[in-house]
Structure 1
Amino acid sequence: MGGPLSQRPLPPEDYRVLSLWHATAEDDWTPRAPLTGDLEVDVAVVGAGLTGLWTAHYLAEADPTLRIAVLEAEVAGYGASGRNGGWCSALFPASADTLAALPGPGGRPHGRAGALAQHAAMRATVAEVERATAAEGIDAHVARGGTIDLARTPAQLTRARAEVAHARAWDRGQDDLRLLGRAEADSILRASGTLGATYTPDCAALHPARLVRGLARAVERRGVRVLERTPVTSIAPGRCETPYGVVRAEVVVRATEGYTPRLPGHERAVVPVYSLVIATEPLPDAVWDEIGLARRETFTDHRHLIVYGQRTADGRLVFGGRGAPYHLGSAIRPDHDRDPRVHAALLATLTDMFPVLGRSRGDVRVTHAWGGALGITRDWCASVGLDRGTGLAWAGGYVGDGVATTNLAGRTLRDLVLGHDTDLTALPWVGHRSPDWEREPLRWLGINAGLRAMTLADAEESLTRRPSLVARAVAPLLG
Structure 2
Amino acid sequence: MGCALTSQGHYARLSLWHEAPDRSWTPRAPLPGDREADVAIVGGGFTGLWTAYYLARADPSLRIVVLEAEVAGFGASGRNGGWCSALFPASADRLATVSAAGRDGAIALHEAMRDTVDEVGRVAAAESIACDYAKGGTLVVARSATQLQTARAEVEHARSWGRGEDQLRLLDGPAARQRLAAEGTLGATFTPDCAALHPARLVRGLAETVERLGVSIHEQTRVQAIEPGRAVTEHGVVRADVVVRATEGYTASLAGQRRAVAPVYSLVVATEPLPAETWEQIGLRERETFSDHRHLIIYGQRTADDRLVFGGRGAPYHYGSRTRPGFDHDETVHAAIRQTLVELFPVLHDARFTHAWGGALGVARDWMASVGLDRSTGLGWAGGYVGDGVATTNLAGRTLRDLVLGEDTELTRLPWVGHRSRRWEPEPLRWLGANAGLRAMTLADTEERVTGRPSLIARAMAPLLGGH
Interval containing the TM-score (normalised by the shorter chain): over 0.9
For residue 327 of structure 1, the aligned residue among 318, 323, 326 is 318
Aligned residues: 466
1:251 is aligned to 2:242: yes
Q: Distance in 2 between matches of 1:132 and 1:198?
A: 28
**Structure 1 position 7, deviation (Å):** 2.4
Q: Over residues 7-31 of structure 1, what are the superposed CA-to-partner deviations in whole Å (9 max), with x where a residue is unaligned?
A: 2333111101100000125223100
Q: Distance in 1 between matches of 2:369 and 2:11?
A: 28
Task: Give the TM-score normalised by structure 1.
Answer: 0.96
1:77 is aligned to 2:73: yes
Task: Give the TM-score normalised by structure 2.
Answer: 0.99
Q: Distance in 2 between matches of 1:477 and 1:52?
A: 28
Specify the code of the residue in structure 2 equivalent to 1:144: K
**Structure 1 position 478, deviation (Å):** 2.4
Q: Distance in 1 between matches of 2:191 and 2:447?
A: 28
Q: Distance in 1 between matches of 2:24 and 2:36?
A: 30
Q: Partner of 1:156 in structure 2?
A: 147
For residue 408 of structure 1, the aligned residue among 395, 408, 417 is 395
Percent identity between the two aligned chains: 70
> Within 5 A, what are the aligned runs for 1:19-418?
19-24=15-20, 26-103=22-99, 109-358=100-349, 363-418=350-405
1:324 touches 1:342 (CA, 8 Å); kept in 2? Answer: yes
Q: Over residues 302-329 of structure 1, what are the superposed CA-to-partner deviations in whole Å (9 max), with x where a residue is unaligned?
A: 0000000000000000000000000000
Moved over 3 A (4+): none
Q: Partner of 1:431 in structure 2?
A: 418
**Structure 1 position 357, deviation (Å):** 1.0
Structure 2: give runs of 5+ residues left out of the alignment: none
SS at match of 2:300: strand
Specify the code of the residue in structure 1 equivalent to 2:63: R
SS at match of 2:223: coil
| Stretch moving more, 451-460 or 237-246 | 451-460
2:4 touches 2:69 (CA, 8 Å); kept in 1? Answer: no
1:25 touches 1:210 (CA, 8 Å); kept in 2? Answer: no
Q: Over residues 317-342 of structure 1, what are the superposed CA-to-partner deviations in whole Å (9 max), with x where a residue is unaligned?
A: 00000000000000100000000000
Q: Distance in 2 between matches of 1:204 and 1:355?
A: 26
Specify the code of the residue in structure 1 equivalent to 2:71: V
Specify the code of the residue in structure 1 equivalent to 2:331: P
Q: Over residues 411-465 of structure 1, what are the superposed CA-to-partner deviations in whole Å (9 max), with x where a residue is unaligned?
A: 0000000011000000000000001111100111111111111111111211222
Q: Distance in 2 between matches of 1:229 and 1:392?
A: 23
1:99 touches 1:110 (CA, 8 Å); kept in 2? Answer: no
SS at match of 1:425: coil
1:475 is aligned to 2:437: no
1:25 touches 1:209 (CA, 8 Å); kept in 2? Answer: no
- The CA RMSD measured in Å over matched residues stands at 0.8
Structure 1: give runs of 5+ residues left out of the alignment: 104-108
Specify the code of the residue in structure 2 equivalent to 1:424: L
Q: Distance in 2 between matches of 1:341 and 1:390?
A: 45
Q: Distance in 2 between matches of 1:470 and 1:63?
A: 50
**Structure 1 position 154, deviation (Å):** 1.1
